[in-house]
Structures are given as C-alpha cells and as structure tokens.
C-alpha cells in the first residue's frame, strides 16, 4: 500500500489533475521558453538586418500552407482519438490515432520535399541568417514532430495494452500525448506566418 | 609606471573618476558597517544561546522590529546610491558625449591581440576602411586612396592623448569581443565586432599608463597590452606630426 | 476525465469540428493576406493577430485550457510572462 | 485505488526489492534514494575534480612560467612543456573549472543529490512522481559529464573560451567547444526531467495533512529552484543549438558581417549578433545563481531549526522571500552585460531590479540569523557549517552591490572582485551548506554517524582557508587586476599585488589538504561510523526522521499523516523538546 505513487490514474483531490497531466504541462512550459529563446533570436536578428528577405519570395508558401492544413487536421484527429477513449470506444481511438500518426508522417514527407528543393539549389543554413533561422527553427520543430510520432505510434500499438488494465490511466496518457501534439501544432501556427508570410 | 599602482584603487587621472571612486568607497564603508553590526549580533546570539545545562530554548519567538527598519533603511540607501551616485556618472559617460569638433577623435579597433589606433589626421576626417583591404601591413583596412585617408595616422598599441581635452573614442573590434580598459581613467567598455561604440574621457594629468583587455579574447588575451600616453597639448601635436605618414 | 457524460462528449466533438473549420479558414485568410503585399507593420500585426487567434483556439479547446485547473493556469501565466520578457528585452536592448 | 496503479516502483513494492538483480537495484535503479546517492557520489567526485583543475591553474598564477614540480612532467606536450603550463591548457582549466563546478558539481549535488534523496522523504511520499524519468535524468547527467571529461582528450583540448563561452571567440575555438555544447545539451535535458519531476512530486504527492505551509523550508527551496531550472534553462538550450549550428553548419547567428580573423575575412554570411548569446546565456545563468543558493538556504534552515531547538523565526517570510527571489531572478540578467553598450533606460531598469532582488536576500539572511535568538544552540559539525554559511553568504551578497551599480561596475567588471564576490556566494556559501547537508543526513542514509572530531577539523581548516583564498581577491579586484590572465605579471597594475596570488594559491592547496579529513570521514563512516541509536539521531521533527533507517524501498511502513508545522521544537509543556510533524498530540 504505502509504496505506491498516488494520483497516477485519478486526479489529486485538491489540484484536480493527475501527475502525468501536471508533468506534461510543466514540460510544455519549458518548451515555450525553448522556442521563446529562438523567437527572441529571430526578432533580434531580423531587427538588426537590412536585407531580410520576404518569406513568400524565397520559400514555398503553397507547400507550407498544405503542411499547415495537415498539422491542424492531425490535431483534430488527435483530440478525437482521446474523445473516443472517453466514450470507451477503443476501435475508433485506433482509427483516429492511426490517422494522426499518418498525418504526422505526411508533414515530414512534405517538409523533406521543401528541404530537398532548397538543397538542390545549394541553399544551406550557412547561406544567410534568414536561412539559418529558417532551417534551425523548422528543423527543431521537425524533431518535435518526430518525437510526437514516436509517442503516438507507441500508444497506437504496444502502449494500448494498458487500456485493458487501467482504461482511466490510458486515457490520461493519451490526453498528455495530445497536449504535446497540440503544442507542436501551436508552434507551427506561429512559425508559418512569421517565416513564410512576412 | 610603477609609481601609479599599488594596493588599493589605481591612481585616477580622469575628470569623472572621482565620482566612481567616491561610490566605491561609500559602498565599502556601508558594507563594512553592515557586516560588522550583523556579525556582532551573530556572535552574541551564538554565545548567549549556546546549549548548556539549565538553559532551554524558547518556543515563542521574540518579535524584532529592527529588521524591518533595517530592510527599509537598506532599500532607501540603495535608491540613494542608484539615483544619486550611479546614474549621474553613468548617464554622463553614456550620453554627454563631447562635441566632435572640440574633442580629439580617435578610433580604436581591437583585434587578437592588439589595439589598432586610428587618428583622422590634420583634416579631422577618418578615411574609409574596408575589411577586404586588411592585411598584415594594413591592420584596419584603411583605403589610402580615399579622399580623407592620406593624412590618417594608424598606430598599434600606442594611444596618445592630450591632457585637459575631451577625447572621443569610437570603439570596435575586428574579430571577437574585447574590452577596452583604461584603469587610471576609470573607463571600461566592451569592443563588440559589428558595432561601433562611443567612449569619452578627459585626462587631468600627464603620464605613461596602460591599456588592458578585460574580456577573454583568446590565448593571447593576457598579453593584449597597449600603452596609453597622456601628454601636454604641444607634445601631443609634436607626436602626431612625427607619426604622420610620409608622402 | 471520468466526469464526462455521453452527451457532453458529443457536444465536445461538435466543438472540435467547429474549431477545426475555423483553423482551416484562418489559415486560408492569413495566406490570402500575405498576397496583398501590405507594408511590414500592418502585415506583421495582421499575421500575428490571426496566428494568436488560431493558437488561442488550439490551446483553449484542443488543449482544454478553457476548463483547466488553476494549478496549470498559474504555471502557464508565469511562463507566458517570462516568455514575453525574453522576447522583448533583448531586441530593445541596444537603443 | 491501489489495484490499478501501475507505476514501476509499485510493482517493485509488490515483488519486494530483493527480487531485483544488482544492476536494477543499484545502477539503473528507479528508487529516488539510490538515484540521490548516485547523484551525490558522482557530483562529489566532479567537485573534487573541478577543484583539482583550479589547484593546477593556481600554480601558474602564483609562479608564472615556472615548471610545475613533481606532477608537471606527466602532462602531454599539448598541455605543459617540461612542466611549464601552456596558455591553451590554462584557459581549458579555467573554462572547465567553472563548467564542472556549477553544472556537474553543485547543482547536481544540491538538487539531484539532496533533492532526490530528502525531498520525497520530507513530504512523506514513497518515491518521486516519475521514477523512470528520475533515472533518465541521472543518466543524461552522467553522459553529459562523461562528454565534458572526454573533451580534454580531443584535438585542441577542452573548451577554452571561459565557462560563459562568449562568441565569436567560442565559434572559432577548437573542437572541444562543440563537445562542451553537446555536453551542455545533455545536462540541460537532465535538469529539465528533474525539475518536472520535482514540481509534480511536491504538488501532488505530499502526505495527507501536509499543506504547503507545513512544508519544511528545504522543500520550498527545492520547489522554487525547480521552477528556475524549468523555465530558465531552455533559452540556454536554444543558445546552444544556435552555437552548434554556427560551429557545425557554418551559420552566422553570432557572427556579424565583416569579421576579420587573423587578417582573413571570415567566410561566413554574417548578419549575426554576438550579444544575442549573452542574453540567452545570462537568462539562464543568473537564475542559475539562485539554483545554486536556494537549496543551500533550504539545507541551512533545516539544520538551524534542528540545532537551535526552536522554530525558525518568520517561516512565512522565508517562503515569500524565496518565491519573490525566484521570480525576480528572471529579470536581472543583463547586469552581467552593463559594458555591452546598453541604453540608459535598460541599464536603469536592470540596476533597479538588481537592487530590488537584494531585499529578499537580506530578509532570508536576517530571518536565519534571528532564528538563533532564544535557541539552545548545539554546535555539531553540520551546525558549524550551516552557521558559517551565514556570514559567508552575507559577504558574497554585500560585495554584489558595487557590481550591480553601473558606475562602480565600470572599474570592477571582469576583475578579481567579481571572482571573489561569486565565490563567496557559492564556495564558502553553498558548498559549506552542502557539507552541512552531508553531515546532517548521512546518518539517515547509512545508519551511521560521521565522526565529529574529523568533522570539526574539516570545518575549521576549510573555514580558514576558504577566507584566505577569496578575501584577498577583493583587494586584487580593487587594484584593477583582471581575470582570465595566463600571465599575471604582464600589467604594471597587477605587479604590486602579485604576492597575493602566491598567498591565495598556497591557501587553495591547503584548502585541498583540509578536505582529506572529510574524505576519510565520509568513506570510513560508511563502514565504521558509530551506528545510530534510533531513526531520529538529531531529535528532529520533519518526516524523513520518522522513516526507518536507512529507508527501505517505498520509504514508509505506513503512509504518514501530518498534524503540524515543520519546526515544532521546544513546544511549551511538552515532555521532549521536539514534536514530530506526525505527532497527533504534543508529546
């Protein structure tokens, strides 16, 4: 009895949240500061630059718009997969989660086309400070997408065994994974206009 | 040179330095008074309340009012230090730049591990520089062909200035961050590549002093020493004439 | 999240679909604005405004911040404050 | 609710810890106590290693250009030539001393070691909220540490651009700098996992009845510290990514246009900003100062309350002051950058915030010293170290004043005054508090006490030599002696005070010798120390002393219930002079 960690499945009576939910929000707070540092760099570099290009003149806006759509669609399928678990429908959960993972992969494929196109034209991060920040921020965001896909794929396949043992804890985990995935979407929502449209 | 330095603050030969020294001295008096008073209380408490037979700790805490007054006192004192002592000197250093026409103008361009000193020459205008022209014989990339560059004077590690005249330095760096430090002048300013930062001072005493680099700038940081010579006006003019490029 | 009833969830799902539609529409709008080639100031203001609305929708509905517990809102409040400090002070630094 | 809890540690609880193989129990353990001990031992080794680096460096400062006797001949030619230290090696020693002491020594000891071991016990929890993350946190730290050590052996040696790694210098430095950045990335992620774990544990896993205002101050200090780690470290991660890009992908985040190195125009796109690094770096590194000092204050508070046998003076003031301190620490960072040409308004803003942050520090220090008044003070070894923390931290804090005001900072910036100032805060300050913590909690961890005589010898000599090392630095600083000088005799202004360098170096080596009694005591007492007579050898009130000694897996036989505040010492009309937090009635 005594050696068990409390509030893994059930929310704490006072704070009203489970450990994993509070934990993932703390992690996201830290992520906000990580991207905050990069955005701060972007603002400072752009402010000091005299020849900063317009994103729409040098980057592929249609492709990025498509990617934005892909990512927000994956966000809604993610939240629907969680809602399916709340309705105790594991089949629907699997379907939505599979779509989420596929959309995540689609995002990466489209992104790699975008990068490939740049590399073909010998455009690397070292070309200018604009490309440096473009590759760094979208690259770091891409790493976050990869991380999210790994987590989601885990919960789609081996991780979903937990459903049969403790549905409540599993639903909590999917909510936590969802929070992370929405955050990745949220970062893109800012990256897209700032890098591509201005 | 040794006569200027010893234990304690280096000699101050600047017109603004006394304000800095006054603040440093005031702060140290304050710090010592604070610490001695605090430490006395600390020792008394340790002796008086040491564990010994027949002595018991008391659960009820005596409430002291003094700390509150002390904290308010410290806060007020800090406001006075900030508004009355620190900001005036700092504002003067940063904003009350001397008029270009009246001041001795000089550019200081730091590099690993030397100070390049660039005087505009008799015409009072700096010649154009271009990083592409930089080589061992032209450390600042001065374009001698440009209009006002012909009479420009460039020295390495030798900064001469006249006494009792404002000097306006434009400070920059070719490679990494350095820090231009004239201890006797109570001047220290980072030299940041990509930026040109104005620094001004006025010497009130002649003598031979040194320029130090205060920011780690590489393996030779410790030997990035320059010479700082404050001269009488006529000696300074004579020195400038000697340094003038031979046509 | 055991407190959700079937009806509530259905309502939630409808909200999610509506939010999704709004996000898609806003994406189209922000791209359309960029084709107007406004000058930098207004373009930046509009782009950030649209992005903030989109981010707000994601955070409030997908991430359930609209019904979230105080502990988490406090945490985010502090974070956003420091985020703004980090974002504004360095660029303002040099005059 | 117990039957569907699936934490890994819960499983261990059921099967009993004996079922685990050795490597699961002691190496890849998820038990917070094993991880705490791992952190403690690793970081003590790093502290010792970092101290050795500076003892080497001090030879060059005391006897510049003279061959290092005895051991000098064993160094390779890239570091010393016939025993004479090269500038390359000197600057590696300096940069790595700072990095190792802060990121691999003090923080992991204060947070990873003490935090991990003591915090769950003090809040009556069976473990941390996420035991597996806790294990990962340790191993990321370990890998980061190994990378930092390994960097000494790469071509060109370890990082040598100072622990602050200012670009563009660090951008053009040898490969050791890349290793430094990668090592930092591991350490940052390690502390991120740790801080998430600490926050969730404190918020969620407190024992029944243990409200926030019944928490021992140590837990509060760790709580605020965790927020600092959580929110201040990521910008340094961002900065490290940018510098890695600059070094590996040849971008120009910190390289302005028209850079000329060695008379060669740098082949980079330019357009970057060197000062950007300083912002992102100090956004972490100033809160980091409070990461170093807050846990120390927490340890000192515990020990003072226990050894004065009375409640702390103004517990709530302590708590509020530390929260305020944590908050303010985020908005003072640019006082490290007064000389980078900031505007008047900015410098005024940062001077004001710097003055404001001194107020909560004064409150904490005053509260702790007033706590002595009316007590019955036991001068045990941990108490001696805790008491010494107070004046030492006081000196460190006071000497921050001239550095926080721009006008006096002009003269003192980048001089030994700065070194004296922050070492007073972290060396005789924090490290004394950490020693106090080791002596205080050693009986709980091992079931044996450390030897008091050796402990007192360790204390008195450390106290004397610490001050002999750092006090003269203020005199050097006022005389204008600049830091990071390979040859201290270059400048005329440094020559008159050069005898101080010899004095400091000899004191530093003697300080090294003064640690021998501690090392003997620490290892000797594990096997030979006097066994504790019961679970609560110091007659303390907080929860960790109600657990069995050493605490088993899961910590408590029954989940503790708390009925009172943390420092109920000498309650009137009680039979004994301490009332544990778990006592329903005053005993």
Q: Where are the alpha helices (DSSP H) in D309-405?
A: 315-328, 344-370, 381-398, 401-404
The sheet carrying B158-162 orders its strands as: B158-162, B226-231, B207-213, B178-182, B187-191
Q: Do A45 and D234 touch (CB under 8 A)?
A: no
Q: A37: nearest CA in chain C?
A: C86
A48: left (phi over 0), alpha (psi -120 to 50) or beta: alpha
D268 has a chain A CB within 8 A of its CB: yes
Least CB–CB distance from C16: residue in A47, A80, A197 = A80
Give a yes or no: residue A6 inside a domain.
Answer: no
Distance CA(A39)–CA(A187), nearest Å, equals 11
Q: Facing residues of B49 across strands?
A: none
Q: Do A136 and D1 touch (CB under 8 A)?
A: no
Question: Between residues 298 and 327 of chain D, which touch chain B (CB distance below 8 Å)?
Answer: 308-311, 313-314
Q: Which three-class secondary structure state does DSSP give residue B116?
A: strand
Q: In three state form, how does the secondary structure of D518-584 look?
A: HHHHHHHHHHHCCECCCCCCCCCCCHHHHCCCCCCCCCCCCCCECCCCCCCECCCCCCCCECCCCCC
Distance CA(C70)–CA(A24), nearest Å, equals 15
Least CB–CB distance from D276: residue in A32, A35, A44 = A44
Q: Please give the radius of gyration of chain D, using alpha carbons only, rounded to the nearest integer.
A: 24
Q: Do B175 and D168 touch (CB under 8 A)?
A: yes
pLDDT in tens, D65-118: 999 999 999 999 999 999 999 999 999 999 999 999 999 999 999 999 999 999
Same domain, B220 and B143: yes
Least CB–CB distance from D406: residue in B21, B70, B90 = B90
Q: Which helix (DSSP H) or strand (DSSP E) does residue B108 occupy? A: strand B104-111
Exposure of D311 by Cβ count < 10 A (0-12 exposed, 13-18 middle, 19+ buried)? buried
Q: Which three-class secondary structure state does DSSP give residue C37?
A: coil
D412 has a chain B CB within 8 A of its CB: yes
pLDDT in tens, D509-542: 999 999 999 999 999 999 999 999 999 999 999 9
Q: Do A193 and C80 touch (CB under 8 A)?
A: no
Q: D416: nearest CA in chain B?
A: B214
In this prediction, residue B1 carries a pLDDT of 58
Query: What is the residue-averaged pLDDT of chain D?
Result: 93
In the block, residue with structure tokens 């001047």: B187
Q: How many structural domains are present in chain B?
A: 2
Tokens of D197: 């774990």
Confidence band of A37 (pLDDT split at 50, 70, 90): very high
Q: Show residues of chain C in contact with A26, CB under 8 Å.
A: 75
Same domain, B28 and B71: yes
Tokens of B184: 């006797």
Q: Do B212 and D413 touch (CB under 8 A)?
A: no
Please state the domain extents for chain C: 1-63, 69-95
Q: Facing residues of D569 across strands?
A: D578
What's A190's DSSP letter? H
Give a yes or no: residue B12 inside a domain.
Answer: no
Least CB–CB distance from C1: residue in A78, A175, A192 = A175
Q: Do A40 and C87 touch (CB under 8 A)?
A: yes
Q: Do D275 and C89 touch (CB under 8 A)?
A: no
pLDDT in tens, A116-172: 999 999 999 999 999 999 999 999 999 999 999 999 999 999 999 999 999 999 999
Same domain, B133 and B230: yes
Distance CA(B26)–CA(D302), nearest Å, equals 36
Question: Between residues 91 and 150 of chain D, which touch chain A (CB distance below 8 Å)?
Answer: 125-127, 129-131
Contact between D123 and D113 under an 8 Å Cβ cutoff? The reply is no
In this prediction, residue D173 carries a pLDDT of 95
Any residues with CB less than 8 A from the CB of D468 and at least 6 apart, and which? D503, D504, D507, D510, D511
Least CB–CB distance from D342: residue in C78, C86, C94 = C94
Same domain, B135 and B50: no
Q: In three state form, how does the secondary structure of D417-447 look?
A: HHHHHHHHHHHHHHHHHHHHHHHHHHHHHHC
Q: Do A83 and C9 touch (CB under 8 A)?
A: yes
Any residues with CB less than 8 A from the CB of A153 and at least 6 apart, and which? A101
Same domain, B90 and B176: no
Can you give the CATH number for the domain in which A145 is found?
1.20.120.80
Same domain, B120 and B213: yes
Tokens of A67: 């990617």
C-alpha distance from residue A79 to each of A89, A94, D35, D549 (Å) = 14, 12, 36, 48
pLDDT at D266 exceeding the cut of 70: yes
Which range of residues forms the domain containing residue A180? 19-197
Distance CA(D355)–CA(D361), nearest Å, equals 10
Residue B113: cis peptide before it, omega within 30 degrees of 0: yes
Distance CA(D352)–CA(D335), nearest Å, equals 10
Q: Do A136 and D556 touch (CB under 8 A)?
A: no
Q: Do A22 and C44 touch (CB under 8 A)?
A: no
Contact between D244 and D178 under an 8 Å Cβ cutoff? The reply is yes
Same domain, B138 and B219: yes
State the nearest Cα–Cα gap between A176 and chain D, in angstroms: 14
Give a yes or no: residue B3 inside a domain.
Answer: no
pLDDT in tens, A46-68: 988 888 999 999 999 999 999 99
Name all domains of chain D by residue range, CATH numbers in brackets. Answer: 36-255+270-546 (1.20.210.10)
Tokens of D287: 């809160």
Which range of residues forms the domain containing residue B230? 104-243
Least CB–CB distance from B46: residue in D162, D374, D377 = D377
Answer with the one of B76, B95, B114 that is the final residue of a domain: B95
Q: Show residues of chain C in contact with D327, CB under 8 Å.
A: 78
Q: Which three-class secondary structure state does DSSP give residue D318?
A: helix
Same domain, B70 and B148: no
Same domain, B78 and B198: no
Strand pairing report for B166-173 and B104-111: parallel
C-alpha distance from residue D526 to each of C63, D520, D532 (Å) = 50, 10, 12
State the nearest Cα–Cα gap between A163 and chain D, in angstroms: 11
Tokens of D464: 């004397």
Same domain, B51 and B121: no
Distance CA(D174)–CA(D259), nearest Å, equals 18
Least CB–CB distance from A198: residue in C43, C63, C83 = C43
Same domain, B115 and B223: yes
The predicted model scores a pTM of 0.95
Contact between D390 and D365 under an 8 Å Cβ cutoff? The reply is yes
pLDDT at D550 exceeding the cut of 70: yes
Residue D263: cis peptide before it, omega within 30 degrees of 0: no
State the nearest Cα–Cα gap between C72 and chain A, in angstroms: 7
Distance CA(A77)–CA(B101), nearest Å, equals 70
pLDDT at D414 exceeding the cut of 50: yes
Distance CA(D124)–CA(D137), nearest Å, equals 22
Q: What percentage of chain D reaches a pLDDT higher than 70?
A: 97
Comparing CA positions, the residue from A3, A18, A33 lying closest to residue A187 is: A33
Q: Please give the radius of gyration of chain B, using alpha carbons only, rounded to the nearest integer.
A: 25
pLDDT at B133 exceeding the cut of 80: yes
Least CB–CB distance from C79: residue in A21, A32, A56 = A32
In this prediction, residue C10 carries a pLDDT of 87
Q: How far is CA A82 from the centre of its chain?
A: 16
Q: Which three-class secondary structure state does DSSP give residue B152?
A: coil
Distance CA(D52)–CA(D70), nearest Å, equals 15
Distance CA(D223)–CA(D225), nearest Å, equals 5
For residues D149-172, one letter each, b for 16 or more C-beta atoms within 10 angstroms of the residue's C-beta and e for the rest, the string is bebbeeeebbbbbbbbbbbbbbbb
Q: D329: nearest CA in chain C?
A: C82
pLDDT in tens, B30-82: 999 999 999 999 999 999 999 999 899 998 877 888 888 888 888 899 999 99
pLDDT in tens, D278-296: 999 999 999 999 999 999 9
Give a yes or no: residue B7 inside a domain.
Answer: no
State the nearest Cα–Cα gap between C50 and chain A, in angstroms: 9
Least confident among B22-26, B131-135, B170-174 = B131-135
Tokens of C18: 């509506």
pLDDT at D11 exceeding the cut of 60: no
Question: Between residues 11 and 30 of chain B, which touch chain D (CB distance below 8 Å)?
Answer: 19-21, 23-24, 27-28, 30
C-alpha distance from residue B106 to each of B103, B137, B147 (Å) = 9, 20, 18
C-alpha distance from residue D126 to each of A16, D13, D35, D116, D205 (Å) = 21, 10, 14, 12, 9
State the nearest Cα–Cα gap between D229 and chain A, in angstroms: 9
Q: Do C1 and A172 touch (CB under 8 A)?
A: yes
In this prediction, residue D18 carries a pLDDT of 58
In this prediction, residue B167 carries a pLDDT of 96
In this prediction, residue B3 carries a pLDDT of 72
Distance CA(D23)–CA(B247), nearest Å, equals 81
Q: Do A198 and C62 touch (CB under 8 A)?
A: no
Same domain, B153 and B188: yes
Q: How many structural domains are present in chain A?
A: 1
What's D101's DSSP letter? I
Q: What is the mean pLDDT of residues B126-143?
A: 90
State the nearest Cα–Cα gap between A74 and chain D, in angstroms: 27
In this prediction, residue D172 carries a pLDDT of 94
State the nearest Cα–Cα gap between A29 and chain C, in angstroms: 6
Question: Between residues 1 and 60 of chain C, which touch chain D (CB distance below 8 Å)?
Answer: none
Q: Show residues of chain A in contact with C9, CB under 8 Å.
A: 83, 86-87
State the nearest Cα–Cα gap between D16 and chain B, in angstroms: 43
Contact between A56 and A197 under an 8 Å Cβ cutoff? The reply is yes
């Amino acid at each position: 009895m005594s050696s068990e960690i409390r509030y893994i499945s059930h929310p704490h009576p006072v704070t009203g949240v489970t450990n994993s939910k509070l934990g993932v929000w703390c992690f996201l707070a830290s992520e906000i500061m990580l991207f905050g540092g990069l955005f701060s760099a972007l603002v400072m570099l752009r402010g000091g630059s005299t020849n900063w290009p317009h994103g729409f003149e040098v980057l592929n806006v249609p492709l990025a718009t498509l990617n934005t759509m892909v990512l927000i669609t994956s966000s809604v399928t993610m939240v629907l997969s969680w809602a399916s678990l709340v309705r105790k429908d594991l089949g629907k959960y699997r379907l939505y989660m599979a779509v989420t993972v596929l959309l995540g992969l689609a995002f990466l494929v489209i992104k790699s086309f975008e990068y490939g196109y740049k590399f073909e034209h010998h455009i690397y991060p070292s070309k200018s400070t604009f490309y440096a920040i473009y590759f760094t921020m979208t690259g770091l965001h891409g790493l976050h997408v990869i991380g999210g896909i790994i987590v989601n794929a885990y919960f789609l396949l081996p991780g979903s065994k937990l459903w049969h043992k403790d549905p409540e804890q599993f639903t909590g985990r999917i909510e936590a994974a969802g929070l992370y995935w929405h955050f990745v979407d949220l970062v893109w929502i800012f990256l897209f206009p700032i890098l591509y449209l201005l | 040179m040794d006569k200027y330095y010893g234990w304690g603050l280096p000699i101050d030969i600047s017109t603004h330095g006394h304000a800095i020294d006054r603040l440093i001295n005031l702060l140290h008096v304050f710090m010592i008074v604070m610490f001695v008073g605090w430490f006395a209380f600390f020792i008394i408490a340790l002796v008086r309340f040491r564990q010994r037979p027949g002595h018991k700790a008391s659960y009820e805490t005596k409430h002291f009012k003094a700390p509150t007054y002390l904290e308010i006192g410290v806060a007020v004192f800090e406001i006075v230090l900030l508004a009355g002592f620190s900001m005036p000197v700092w504002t003067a250093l940063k904003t009350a730049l001397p008029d270009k026409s009246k001041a001795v103008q000089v550019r200081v361009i730091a590099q690993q591990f030397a100070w390049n000193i660039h005087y505009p020459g008799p015409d009072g205008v700096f010649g154009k520089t271009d990083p592409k022209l930089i080589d061992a014989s032209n450390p600042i990339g001065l374009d001698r062909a440009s209009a006002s560059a012909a009479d420009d004077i460039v020295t390495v590690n030798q900064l001469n200035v006249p006494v009792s005249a404002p000097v306006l330095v434009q400070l920059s760096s070719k490679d990494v961050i350095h820090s231009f430090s004239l201890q006797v002048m109570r001047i220290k300013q980072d030299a940041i590549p990509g930026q040109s930062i104005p620094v001004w001072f006025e010497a009130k005493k002649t003598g031979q002093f040194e320029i130090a680099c205060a920011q780690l700038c590489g393996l030779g940081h410790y030997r990035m020493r320059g010479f700082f010579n404050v001269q009488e006006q006529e000696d300074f003019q004579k020195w400038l004439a000697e340094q003038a490029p031979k046509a | 999240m055991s407190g959700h009833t079937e009806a509530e969830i259905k309502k939630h799902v409808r909200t999610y679909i509506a939010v999704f539609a709004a996000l898609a529409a806003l994406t189209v709008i922000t791209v359309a604005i960029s084709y107007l080639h406004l000058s930098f100031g207004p373009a930046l203001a509009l782009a950030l405004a649209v992005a903030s609305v989109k981010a707000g929708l994601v955070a409030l509905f997908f991430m359930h911040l609209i019904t979230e517990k105080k502990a988490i809102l406090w945490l985010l409040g502090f974070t956003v404050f420091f985020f703004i400090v980090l974002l504004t002070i360095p660029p303002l630094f040099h005059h | 609710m117990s039957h569907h809890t699936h934490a890994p540690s819960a499983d261990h609880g059921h099967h009993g810890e004996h079922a685990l193989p050795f490597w699961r129990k002691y190496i890849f353990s998820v038990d917070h106590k094993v991880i705490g001990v791992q952190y403690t031992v690793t970081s003590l080794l790093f502290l010792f290693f970092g101290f050795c680096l500076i003892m080497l460096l001090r030879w060059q400062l005391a006897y510049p250009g003279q061959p290092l006797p005895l051991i000098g001949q064993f160094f390779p030619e890239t570091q010393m030539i016939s025993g004479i230290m090269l500038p390359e090696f000197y600057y590696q020693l300096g940069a790595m001393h700072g990095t190792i002491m802060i990121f691999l020594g003090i923080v992991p000891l204060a947070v990873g070691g003490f935090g991990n071991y003591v915090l769950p016990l003090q809040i009556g929890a069976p473990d941390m909220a996420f035991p597996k993350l806790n294990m990962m946190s340790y191993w990321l730290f370990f890998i980061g540490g190994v990378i930092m050590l390994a960097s000494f052996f790469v071509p060109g040696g370890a990082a040598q651009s100072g622990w602050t790694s200012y670009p563009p210098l660090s951008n053009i430095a040898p490969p050791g700098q890349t290793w430094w950045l990668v090592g930092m990335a591991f350490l940052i992620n390690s502390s991120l996992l740790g801080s998430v774990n600490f926050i969730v544990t404190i918020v969620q896993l407190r024992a029944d009845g243990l409200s926030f205002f019944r928490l021992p101050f140590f837990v509060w200090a760790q709580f605020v510290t965790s927020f600092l780690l959580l929110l201040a470290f990521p910008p340094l991660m961002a900065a490290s990514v940018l510098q890695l890009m600059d070094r590996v992908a040849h971008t120009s985040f910190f390289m302005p246009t028209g850079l000329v190195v060695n008379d060669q125009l740098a082949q980079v796109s330019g357009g970057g900003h060197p000062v950007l690094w300083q912002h992102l770096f100090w956004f972490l590194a100033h809160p980091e100062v409070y990461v170093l000092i807050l846990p120390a204050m927490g340890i000192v508070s515990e020990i003072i309350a226990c050894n004065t046998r009375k409640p702390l003076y103004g517990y709530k003031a302590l708590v509020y002051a530390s929260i305020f301190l944590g908050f303010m620490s985020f908005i003072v960072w640019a006082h490290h950058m007064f000389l980078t040409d900031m505007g008047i308004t900015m410098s005024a803003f940062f001077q004001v915030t710097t003055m404001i942050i001194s107020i909560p520090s004064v409150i904490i220090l005053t509260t702790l010293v007033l706590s002595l008044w009316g007590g019955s003070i036991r001068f045990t070894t941990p108490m001696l170290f805790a008491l010494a923390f107070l004046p030492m931290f006081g000196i460190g804090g006071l000497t921050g004043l001239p550095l926080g005001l721009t006008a006096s900072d002009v003269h003192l910036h980048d001089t030994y005054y700065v070194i004296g100032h922050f070492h007073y805060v972290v060396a005789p300050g924090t490290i004394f508090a950490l020693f106090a913590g080791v002596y205080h909690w050693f009986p709980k961890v091992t079931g044996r006490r450390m030897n008091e005589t050796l402990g007192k010898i360790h204390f008195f000599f450390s106290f004397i030599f610490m001050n002999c090392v750092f006090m003269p630095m203020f005199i050097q600083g006022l005389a204008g002696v600049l830091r990071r000088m390979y040859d201290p005799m270059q400048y005329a202004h440094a020559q008159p005070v050069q005898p101080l360098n010899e004095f400091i170096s000899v004191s530093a080596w003697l300080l090294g010798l003064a640690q021998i009694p501690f090392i003997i005591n620490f290892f000797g007492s594990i096997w030979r120390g006097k066994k504790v007579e019961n679970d609560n050898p110091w007659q303390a009130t907080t929860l960790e002393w109600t657990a069995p000694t050493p605490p088993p897996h899961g910590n408590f036989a029954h989940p503790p219930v708390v009925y009172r505040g943390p420092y109920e010492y000498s309650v009137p009309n009680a039979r004994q002079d301490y009332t544990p937090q778990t006592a329903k009635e005053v005993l």
